[in-house]
Amino acid sequence: MQAIVETLFDAAYLITVLTIGIRMIRESRGDRQFRLFGWMAVVLGAGDAFHLVPRALALCTTGLASYTVPLGLGKWITSVTMTVFYVLLYGVWRQRYGIRGRTGLTAAVYGLAAVRIALCMMPQNQWLRDDAPLAWGIFRNIPFALLGLLVIVLFRGSAKRHGDRAFRWMWLTIVLSFGFYIPVVLWADAIPMIGMLMIPKTCAYVWTVLIGYSAMKKECH
């Protein structure tokens, strides 16, 4: 039962975000913020597919234990693409609110992303093993959480100052995604049921993508 429900949910998620992303790229009519948002959605869906597709195959066939290497490789790739996702989201913020300059802020975003990706590449993560160390899971997520926090603050402040109703909840979608993700990182190995929090985390990302798509439909048509 878990295999069927989880596979259908993941398939619906991937199809939704990839379809919306491609449509945003094609229908943005030269609007850079929405074209960038479309690429952001594509990166999200394509990156998550590297983990979710092997997981679906594992659940529907011989079990997760038989797919340790593909699942580990998928997590590795997803960790990098999720970092790129937030860098692109920062780019959307700059485009939407006409931000110019602020090189220090941009340096901080790219610096945190670079540190996160560098930590993800370290062999100590042992991505391809089923007993990967928790400590490295925490280390690599510290700059990621700081990057997310920075984007939350930027979107909340700018949407409020500009009276931007279309993006007024963008900050909340990111808060929710991290709120559901962090317990999984910390405790999912000890308490497997906590892994179920990845479902509402995924829903939060779908909400993020839908905010951008809805705004584009109103502002570009």
Q: Report the amino acid identity of residue 195.
A: G
Report the pLDDT value the prediction gives residue 185, as an integer from 0 to 100.
Answer: 87
Q: Write out pLDDT tens, residues 146-184.
A: 999 999 999 999 999 999 999 999 999 999 999 999 998
Residue 82's pLDDT band (cuts 50, 70, 90)? very high
- Check whether 186 has a pLDDT greater than 90: no
Arithmetic mean of pLDDT over the chain: 93
Work out the pLDDT band at 221, boundaries 50, 70, 90: low
Decide: residue 1, CB within 10 A, 0-12 exposed, 13-18 middle, 19+ buried.
exposed
Residue spans of the domains in the chain: they are: 2-219
The whole-number average pLDDT for the span 105-125 is: 97
Q: Which amino acid is at 70?
A: P
Average confidence (pLDDT) over 18-24: 97
Cα–Cα nearest to 120, from 197, 196, 47 = 47
Give the span between the Cα atoms of 19 and 23, in whole angstroms.
6
Tell me the whole-structure pTM to 2 decimals: 0.94
Q: What amino acid is encoded at 112 in this protein?
A: L
pLDDT > 70: percent of the chain: 100
Instruction: Say whether domain 2-219 belongs to CATH 3.40.30.10.
Output: no
